[in-house]
Amino acid sequence: MLKKILVLTVLAINVIFAQDFNNLKIYINPGHGGHDSNDRYIPETGFWESEGNLAKGLYLRDLLVSFNANVRMSRVTNNSSDDLPLSQISEDANNFDADFFHSIHSNAYNGQTNYTLLLYKEVNGSPAFPQAKQMCDIMALKIYEAHRTTTKYTRGDYSFLGFNLGVLRNLTMPGTLSEGSFHDYIPESWRLRNDAYLKHEAWAIAKAFIDYYGLQTLQVGEIAGILRDHDKLVDYYYIPSTTDGKKPLNNVSVTLLPDNKTYNGDTYNNGFYLFDSLAPGNYQVIVTAEDYSTDTLDVTVQANKTSFADKWLTLVENYNIPQIISTIPASGSADVRLSSKISIQFDIPMDKNSVESAFVISPDVQGTFQWSDNDKLLEFIPSNKFSKDTEYTVTIDTTAHTIFNVALAAPYSFSFHTRKKLNLVSYYPADNSADISTTVKIILTFDAPVSVNTLGNNIFFKDAGGNSVSLAADQSAFAKGQIIFWPVYPLEYNSNYKVILKSGIGDTDGLTLEEDYEINFTTEKDRYVNGSIIDSFETEGLWWQPGQSGSTTGIDASVTGFELTTGKKYNGAKSGKLTYKFTAENGICRLYNPAEPDLGNNDNSLFGLWIFGDFSHNVLEYWFRDSHGTNYPYFVDTLNWTGWKLKTISLGDLGIAGNKKFHSIVIKKSPDGSEEGELYFDDLQTDVVPVKGEIQLPEKFKLYQNYPNPFNPSTIIKYAIPVAQKAESKALRVQLKVYDVLGREVATLVDKQQSAGTYQVIFSPEIVKGGLPSGVYFYKLKAGDFVQTHKMLLVK
């Protein structure tokens, strides 16, 4: 019954609004992305404006889309790279030809104010778009009512700021900017960390759009409120005319009757809760919070409004003896970081002064105390780092007592031992390993963040002759306790290399490795000559997204995806990049090629795909089909390498009689595999030619005669590209085209950058629209200054 009501409610919303927004185009700009210098951060609460703005924007998008609006956002993630410059945002909005532009922000001033501000572009004292001023008036009221800020203002940007806001400057449509509330006012900053609070602002903005466009108002309403401690006051500034002085409760639990929905709150000191999309009528709200009394409120919901139901709760008296539930570090811990803090979790709210007085650490360490979780969680933050290789003992004696004056039954002690040195936990390649990719990515993992300053003269990458190998490094890895680097140019085949780590490599605790390491490895022996390319991963749209495949399961769809990229490639200009994240141990990520290319019936053919491995230890499979459509999954390898490797299988090993079709690359989560990874694919092919040992690169250009000739239905054209003459260009632009006897171009078989090597392509007249008639054709190879043409004969 409940489900039916909910479904009907959702349907009702959609029916009411199905035509109302009627594809109105709305552009949403969540301001300040990326946790960078353009962002705003409040250290006291951990609030980032980029996060708040984005959450509001995403909720707003979902609401507007559900009302049948056409919505575009300037960003949907929170990285510096997608925090577009204002010139690009305005160009994107103009290209979209939006009917309205809205930029979402929160405000900051002196930490003691909290009003709602809406800005529009103003020229010569008037709104550049009168509609924008009208929207500001509507939206300011809606947000003011939702957030219950102290007041609201609508202002022209020039009058208010003395300049025209760049974000509204170059738009071809009315634009507004909302500063919903002040994120440097600490009570509001805590509230802005609550997801439901941000959603409530999105509802307010959505309602403003409904009013602005004169659409039928919402037939649903919300219940929202803040639960606070009846007696305790906050220890930060609050505006006296508000109730913000009363301490908000954490871990609130609010149940709505008769819907029987429950809202569980967070631990961000806001006490906020929200129920939305409620049909008008009478409800009961049962409110409580951990350690607090329970109360019931009667609330009437009205359409298109928020009904507020705040409550001040009292702490439930508890005369049990307090227990220490856990500590960090746990008792007996070894290798504890020198920059650690100490956490002690009690089961009953404690009297802070008594616990702090009862806290002793030996050897003595100076530090400060912080309390959270309703005074049940104590954190001790040392003023200086702990000493290395030292046993510390923390004792809370029996003078510590609860706020109800019940003392610990016995002194509580726990000990831990600090780290002695930096430890190398794992590394790839393994020492004395062979068959390593010539484009290997070397991964060294330590037990603490690495100090970049200690790496000079302490880490070396050398070839067999003792020469240093030019390398590039992942700068973001150091903070994760990793050193990740790779050769700038491919290594030599079948050659020995070594990575030398000196004892002076240090971590951010100031500890060093204290011993030298040497990791030796040999690169792979075998080379390959490209066979017949099935997909060079240069063309969009040939593969489904993993989420489109029915076999894909247990993945995070917001992260998992496939795209072509120029960032890393084995050949040509692009490769295919698969980013995946598993959410289940039996996760499967399938990349499906709907063309299901036919591989023929040659059991001796070697099938292969160049894969840049991610060292995830997940499982790689290729999936094939026989002529009856039966699926043949084939285990290829565990993803236990980095760098480009051609992963081949012999088609004869599939056990498929007759023609075989390839259709999918599949990654399966293995028990010890990483939850997420990133793979690159290039040059999917059959008829791979393995070359054992040294390969002779061509010394000169050559275009071979096609085979077979005459031909029908297809023929192979082979050509050779020598080592580039100019050092700065490792690859040449290579074009191979087919012309008819009148000199008209009928097909382009190759048009891309290629490095030295021997290549072959299959020409089938079927690729030409409408096919080709029998007759003489010419194929011309153009590579740099080299041009050569041969004749071939198609016989039908």
Residues of the shown chain interacting with another protein in the complex, contacts defined by CB under 8 A: 24-25, 31-32, 38-39, 81-88, 91-92, 94-95, 97-100, 105, 121, 123, 128-129, 131, 163-167, 169-173, 177, 212-214, 538, 540-541, 563-566, 572-574, 577, 751-753
- Please identify, using beta-carbon distances, which residue of 99 and 598 lies nearer to another protein: 99
Q: Which is nearer to another protein, 425 or 559 (CB)?
A: 559
* Nearer to another protein (CB atom), residue 84 or residue 377: 84
74 or 686: CB nearest another protein: 74
CA 40 vs. chain centroid, Å, equals 21
Q: Which of 601, 587, 754, 600 is nearest to 682 (CA)?
A: 754
Task: Tokens for 775, please give them.
Answer: 């007759």
Question: Residue 261 or 780: which CB sits closer to another protein?
Answer: 780
Question: Which residue number, 164 or 395, has a Cβ lying nearer to another protein?
Answer: 164
CA distances from 339 to 73, 396, 416, 420 (A): 41, 22, 13, 13
User: Strand locations in 466-605, DSSP E?
Assistant: 471-473, 482-487, 496-501, 517-523, 527-529, 532-535, 561-565, 575-581, 588-592, 598-600
Q: Residue 202 CB, nearest distance to another protein (Å)? A: 20
Specify the residue, 168 or 350, whose C-beta has the smaller distance to another protein: 168
Tokens of 252: 């609130």
Identity at 306, one-letter amino acid code: T
Q: Whole-angstrom Cα distance, residue 653 to residue 606?
A: 10
Q: Which is nearer to another protein, 31 or 221 (CB)?
A: 31
Residue for token pair 């951060």: 41
What's the CA gap between 738 and 792, in Å, rounded? 10
The CA distance from 120 to 135, in Å, is: 9
CB of 660 to another protein, least distance (A): 30
93 SS3 class: helix
The least CB distance from residue 101 to another protein, in Å, is: 11
Q: How far is the CB of 212 from another protein (least distance, A)?
A: 7
> Which is closer to another protein, CB of 71 or CB of 378?
71
66 to 202, 714, 783: CA distances (angstroms) = 13, 52, 54
The helix or strand, by DSSP H or E, that contains position 9, with its residue range, turns out to be: helix 2-17
- Cβ neighbors of 79 (< 8 A, separation 6 or more) are 33, 34
Least distance in angstroms from the C-beta of 561 to another protein: 9
3 state DSSP class of 451: coil
- Residue 778 CB, shortest distance to another protein, in Å, is 21
Task: Please state the closest distance from residue 759 (CB atom) to another protein, in A.
Answer: 17
Give me the sign of the Cα torsion angle 337, 338, 339, 344.
positive
Q: How far is the CB of 32 from another protein (least distance, A)?
A: 4
Give 587's DSSP letter: -
Among residues 471, 332, 451, 484, the alpha carbon closest in space to that of 394 is found at 332
β-strands 471-473, 482-487 pairing: antiparallel
Shortest Å, Cβ 61 to another protein: 15
Cα-based angle 787, 790, 795 (whole degrees, multiple of 5) = 150
Least distance from another protein to the Cβ atom of residue 736, Å: 13
Nearer to another protein by C-beta: 134 or 788?
Answer: 134
Cα separations in angstroms, 697 against 682, 726, 782 = 21, 16, 19
Cβ proximity to another protein: between 298 and 540 the closer is 540
The least distance separating another protein from the CB of residue 58, rounded to whole angstroms, comes to 17
Question: Shortest CA distance to 413 belongs to which of 488, 521, 332, 505?
Answer: 332
| CB of 169 or CB of 780, closer to another protein | 169
Q: Minimum CB separation from another protein for residue 543, in Å?
A: 12
Report in angstroms how near the CB of residue 70 gets to another protein at its nearest: 10
The single residue listed with the structure tokens 């009297």 is: 351
Q: Taking the complex as a whole, how short is the minimal distance between the CB of residue 121 and another protein, in angstroms?
A: 7
212 vs 662 by CB, closer to another protein: 212
Of 617 and 752, which CB lies nearer to another protein in the complex structure? 752
- Burial class of residue 500 (count of CB atoms within 10 Å of its CB; 0-12, 13-18, 19+): middle
* Size (the chain), residues: 796
Which residues lie closer than 8 Å to 680 by C-beta, 6 or more apart?
Answer: 565, 568, 569, 570, 575, 576, 577, 578, 611, 612, 644
Please identify which residue in the block is written with the tokens 């399938």.
Answer: 590
Packed helices 2-17 and 49-66: angle between N→C axes, nearest 10 degrees? 80
